[in-house]
Structure 1
Amino acid sequence: MKFEAIRQEVVGEIGEAISLISGNEVEGLIDEIEKADKVFFIGVGRVLLSLKSVAKRLAHLGIKTVIVGEITEPAITDKDLLIVGSGSGESAIPLIIAEKAKKYNARVVHIGSNPDSSMKKFTDLFVRIPVTTKLDTQDAIKSIQPMTSLFEQSLLILGDIVALMMVRNKSIDIHSLWEYHANLE
């Protein structure tokens, strides 16, 4: 296969997935982020890699972000938010962490594909990326890509869209954000 043909298919899938995310859900996510003292992130595998990128970008906006499991992780409180990335909503570690966060009265946002997952009972807000995950739900976008690539890509793009929305909502000078960029590189 030629690069151009595959590129068109992949970019088309991402565009379709992003276009089907609810604006109201995204605005709710931004509201939750802005209300929180700290924003914690949990996921596994490539989903966690996408979430780490989202956390880093939000840190550039001055948001206190924490990756669950990092050595410097502080305690979660009722003033904090846990963002769970799990397409299926059935991954064991995110489920356990979400349940524990609720015991400390933290808010929980689940970004996933399956609205009727086990994660539902721990979730205050669900943001749906309607793509096929390890559970092949009927109303989800089918992907030509391996495994859950489309979910992971869409999650990363969604995070960058959220960051840009926050920049514009707060009229932040985008060039001033470099002060938050790592400088020990």
Structure 2
Amino acid sequence: MIVPTILKEVETVLSQVAEEQLQELAKELQKAERIFIIGEGRSGLMAKSFAMRLMHLGATVYVVGETITPSIGEGDLLVAVSGSGTTKSVVWTAEKTQSLGCTVIGVTTNPESPLAAASTRILHVPAATKYRRENELKTIQPLGSLFDQCVHLLFDTICLQYSKLSSVSNKDAFARHSNLE
């Protein structure tokens, strides 16, 4: 039975992340002037889905590397996603952002990683990565699937909390949803 095993893996990871921490992150996002998001590969896809959901909730949000992304500055915040915490472009962007005095939220499995070192705050997601390091949770899934699944659910939880803090209803969010589909 594969699906129940996957669900158990996800539950094991998510049960280790305190909801209070997600609430704090939602508050920090709400305080930011603008939110910038970065990730590569599948982590980047999770990051982009988070950016889209935050946009639906009324946040001013940009994905790093897109042609319309402005410069980051005082009062802005970066969310940097890398399962391993070693993805060079993500770590470099976090380091650059930190050097500019902006807040960096690192999302990673490895609280000892270069990304964690370049972050103001860390969302530690104790899931497996493609590297299968000794201290990582065991999984039946290939590569970083477990990390990606958990990050997606954690980001949606943060968005739910963000919407409550901002009093954004489903109707409000739907009004910002793309109408060019």
What band does the TM-score fall into relative to the shorter chain?
Answer: over 0.9
1:149-181 deviation per Cα after TM superposition (whole angstroms, max 9, x unaligned): 000111111111111112233443223321010
TM-score scaled to structure 2, two decimals? 0.93
2:74 corresponds to 1:88: no
Corresponding residue number in structure 2 for 1:31 = 27
State whether residues 88 and 135 of structure 1, in contact with CA within 8 Å, keep that contact through their aligned partners in structure 2: no
Q: 1:15 deviation in Å?
A: 1.9
Q: How many aligned positions are there?
A: 180
Indicate whether 1:100 and 2:96 are aligned: yes
1:8-157 maps to which residues of 2 (within 5 A)? 8-133=4-129, 134=131, 136-138=133-135, 140-157=136-153
Q: Which amino acid aligns with 2:14?
A: I
How far has the Cα of 1:77 moved from its partner? Answer: 0.4
Alpha-carbon separation, structure 2, partners of 1:48 and 1:88 = 13
The 1:58/1:137 distance shift into structure 2, 3 A limit, reads farther
List alignment gaps of at least 5 residues for structure 2: none
Counterpart position of 1:181: 177
Q: Is the Cα contact below 8 Å between 2:27 and 2:165 reproduced in 1?
A: no
Question: Amino acid of the residue matched to residue 5 of structure 2?
Answer: E
Are the structure 2 counterparts of residues 112 and 67 from structure 1 closer, same or farther at C-alpha, using a change threshold of 3 Å?
same
CA drift at 1:92: 0.7
CA RMSD of aligned residues (A): 1.4
Structure-2 separation of matches of 1:16 and 1:95: 27
Alpha-carbon distance in structure 2 between the residues aligned to 1:60 and 1:16: 29
Structure 1 position 137, deviation (Å) = 4.2
Instruction: Answer with 21-30 or 58-67: which moved more.
Output: 21-30
Distance 1:48 1:9 in 2: 25
The offset of 1:17, in angstroms, is 1.3
Indicate if the aligned counterparts of 1:22 and 1:128 stay in contact, CA closer than 8 A. Answer: no
* Partner Cα separation in structure 1 for residue 18 and residue 124 of structure 2: 7
Per the normalisation by structure 1, the TM-score is 0.92
Change (3 A) 1:125 1:137: farther
**Per-residue deviation, residues 25-80 of structure 1 (Å, max 9, x unmatched):** 21231122011111111111000001110110011000111110000000100210
Identity in percent? 32
Query: Structure 1 stretches of 5 or more lacking a match?
Result: none
C-alpha separation between the residues in 1 aligned to 2:119 and 2:175? 34
